[in-house]
Amino acid sequence: MRKLILLLLSGLVVVMLTGAQYVSQVRDAPLLSDTRYFEVKRGDTFAAICQRWQEVHWIERCLPYQVYGKLFPERVNVKAGVYELQGLSVLGALSKLSTGAQADFMFTIIEGQTFKQVLANLKAAPFIDFDLTDMDFVPNVGEDVDGLFGTPGPHPEGWLYPETYHYHAYNKASTLLRHASERMQTQLALAWQQRAQDLPISSAYEALILASIIEKETGQAQERPLIASVFVNRLNRKMRLQTDPTVIYGLGDSFDGDIKRRHLREYTPYNTYRIKGLPPTPIAMPSFDAIIAATQPAQTDYLYFVSKGDGSHYFSKSLKEHNQAVQRYILNKHKG
């Protein structure tokens, strides 16, 4: 009996020493992957993953990790997901896989983008489920444009808040868009509550429309309140807004990047050279600063502005002054 006990103890010592030897080998082993992301599918075991790593020569052999898994089974209990493994050791990779520390992906909606541009960028985003069949979250503004943007539901333009959003692999694109829409609704409601008195707009939605125009006209952020003041002053005087970005939006895919005089004469519901007041919907995703400018414009007598060619504008109170500015900044520049 004594010999048997000694034999068992010696065997256990050998196993422990062998395990310790393998663990020491594992601890410093780099994961030889030049692939940034690795996906663990539902039902995958560590043994199957180790075999995949060996087949693509990320590791030399699986035996040390099999021993490691026997000693520390909780550390190889991998969870489904997509993980960022570049630059990690095998143990570092296993730590992520066993704790479920999935890769964090980011998607940014940029101020001034249109809904079509947002969708195109979102469709190209990595590891996202581009399923929009449940995209029913955009506030109903009384206009059914089913199919206009390839998506069901009311007009979505302007309703996505420009910000960076985080998601995990195979999250639904519609979920991200829903968050962006909810964020916009919250920020718009906040700005509308703090609006200035006697604005020539009657609803938060009209503020969103005006903010989108301000956003598209702005080249330098500090000018947003001044640009807003021009549009507010024109609306108060029943003057047409006469802003090119609305014309361009109304032209849609037919616009080739060069706005011409005939475009200004062409009727669309968005051509503010032809229609009075605001267009029927926003023309882009406005920033919060643009929304604040629309609801709290600067107090000025400006009725016109013209680009100076450096992103800034020259603001005028009269048509005569405006025509002189056009001559100075636009016509003379073309002559030169």
DSSP 30: B
| Position 308 in a domain | no
Residues in contact with 261: Cβ distance below 8 Å, sequence separation at least 6, in sequence order:
none
Q: Is 128 helix (H, G, I), strand (E, B) or coil?
A: strand
- For residues 178 and 266, membership in a common domain is answered with yes
- For residues 243 and 297, membership in a common domain is answered with yes
- For residues 119 and 81, membership in a common domain is answered with no
- For residues 58 and 137, membership in a common domain is answered with no
| Position 327 in a domain | no
Q: What is the pLDDT of residue 213?
A: 98
Of 99, 133, 161, which residue is a domain's last?
99
- For residues 63 and 143, membership in a common domain is answered with no
- For residues 219 and 159, membership in a common domain is answered with yes
CATH number at residue 42: 3.30.1490
- For residues 45 and 136, membership in a common domain is answered with no
| Position 336 in a domain | no
| Position 142 in a domain | yes
- For residues 94 and 189, membership in a common domain is answered with no
Cite the DSSP H helix spans in the chain: 2-27, 46-55, 63-71, 90-99, 115-123, 173-193, 204-217, 224-236, 244-251, 261-265, 288-295, 319-326, 332-335
- For residues 189 and 294, membership in a common domain is answered with yes
Say how far apart CA 294 and CA 232 lie, in whole Å.
8
Say how far apart CA 306 and CA 321 lie, in whole Å.
11
The domain total for the chain is 2
Say how far apart CA 307 and CA 311 lie, in whole Å.
7
Instruction: Output the tens digit of pLDDT for each of the chain's 336 residues.
Output: 555 444 444 444 344 444 455 555 555 567 766 778 999 999 999 999 999 999 988 888 888 888 888 888 888 899 999 999 988 888 889 999 999 999 999 999 999 999 999 999 999 999 999 887 776 666 554 344 344 444 444 678 999 999 999 999 999 998 999 999 999 999 999 999 999 999 999 999 999 999 999 999 999 999 999 999 999 999 999 999 999 999 999 998 888 888 888 988 999 999 999 999 999 999 999 999 999 999 999 999 999 999 998 999 999 999 999 999 999 988 766 554
Q: Is 104 helix (H, G, I), strand (E, B) or coil?
A: coil
- For residues 64 and 129, membership in a common domain is answered with no
Q: What is the pLDDT of residue 18?
A: 47
What is the extent of the structural domain holding 40?
Answer: 28-99
Say how far apart CA 161 and CA 259 lie, in whole Å.
28
| Position 157 in a domain | yes
